[in-house]
Chain A
Amino acid sequence: MRNCREITELVSKGLDTPLGIGERLSIKLHVMMCSRCRNFLSQTQFIRKAARQYADQMFDSVKKSD
């Protein structure tokens, strides 16, 4: 069984590259039982969304000033 540190490493990796079936399954099983890792999973997805929106805002602010 993977511990929380290992699960979050996988979750993070999964945001940057496709994971194998086994890896995805162990995340799924782990977050069913672990609310902290479940929070980590959704919060890292949120951070990705926020980061892209932040970049878009930077980009837009320049276009407008053109």
Chain B
Amino acid sequence: MLLKSAADRTPTLNEAVLAEQRPVLFRYALIKLRNAEWADDAVQETLLAAWQSATAFQGKAGLRTWLIGILKHKIADHWRRMEREVVTDVLDMGEIDMLENEDDDFFLGNGHWNGGPNTWQDPEAALKQQEFWAIYETCQNNLPAKMAQVFMLRELVGLEAEEVCRETGISDANYWVTMHRARLRLRECLEIRWFNSSQFNKESHHA
């Protein structure tokens, strides 16, 4: 029985398997194209192309990588159709340098916090407030472009760390530094713009 089921595990592409990947592909397209309609078109073209060339597909382990490869072409096609100026592909970034030096303001020379995280009052409540999401978006957009791409591929698209490295061409070590840095920045931005200032607002309301 066991042997048989293992042998049966040959990769088959069916609609359900493809549909499973749709949300991830859509998110990927969305952060690249920044337009929901275009993203949706690109994903549909991708799934159609995948379906038509299913025999070219080599195995389930690499399904997402394979689909993202097709999607990248569809996104490039889109830009070509739009006759945009040369849009540099921020995802083909090589190593992200400039990080090591930049890190210094968050920590002192001995590795202790320089300032550092205060306690946030009721963060869960923030998730229900429209204004919070505007701040969140601002903070995310304030990340340097390449850092933002790495962060979004991981946290918004939902790729695994190794997939992000493969997509962006950065090394493991560079990935850890970049994500650490992105989280430090986002955290600080949210604290300054939302958590500290909303406490301030509360106090001023009482006054």
- How big is the B interface, by class? 35 or more
Q: B99-118 toward A: CB 8 Å interface, digit per residue (1/0)?
A: 00001001100111100111
Residues of A within 8 A of B175 (CB): 16
Residues of B within 8 A of A47 (CB): 155, 183, 186-187, 190
Contact A43 B117 (CB under 8 A): yes
Q: B175-200 toward A: CB 8 Å interface, digit per residue (1/0)?
A: 11001100110110011000000000
Residue of B23, B30, B123 most packed against chain A (CB within 10 A): B123
CB distance from B20 to the nearest CB of A (A): 15
When chains A and B are docked, how far (Å) is the Cα of A58 from the Cα of B23?
11
When chains A and B are docked, how far (Å) is the Cα of A40 from the Cα of B190?
12
Residues of A within 8 A of B140 (CB): 51, 54
Contact A54 B117 (CB under 8 A): no
Contact B123 A8 (CB under 8 A): no
When chains A and B are docked, how far (Å) is the Cα of A5 from the Cα of B140?
22
**Known contacts A3-B112, A12-B180; is-contact A44 B187 (Cβ 8 Å):** yes
- How big is the A interface, by class? 35 or more
CB distance from B83 to the nearest CB of A (A): 25
CB distance from B40 to the nearest CB of A (A): 6
Check A48 for interface membership: any CB of B closer than 8 A.
yes
Residue of A8, A15, A53, A65 most packed against chain B (CB within 10 A): A8
Residues 124-161 of B contacting A (Cβ, < 8 Å): 127, 133, 136-137, 140, 151, 154-158, 160-161
Contact A4 B161 (CB under 8 A): no
Residue among A6, A12, A43, A52 making CB contact with B111, cutoff 8 Å: A6
Contact A36 B187 (CB under 8 A): no
Contact A49 B113 (CB under 8 A): no
Residues of A within 8 A of B180 (CB): 8-9, 12-13
Contact A16 B161 (CB under 8 A): yes
6 A-B pairs (CB sep. < 8 Å): A40-B117, A43-B120, A43-B187, A47-B186, A54-B156, A55-B157
Give A contacts to B, CB under 8 Å: 3-6, 8-9, 12-13, 15-17, 35-37, 39-40, 43-44, 46-55, 57-59, 61-62, 65-66
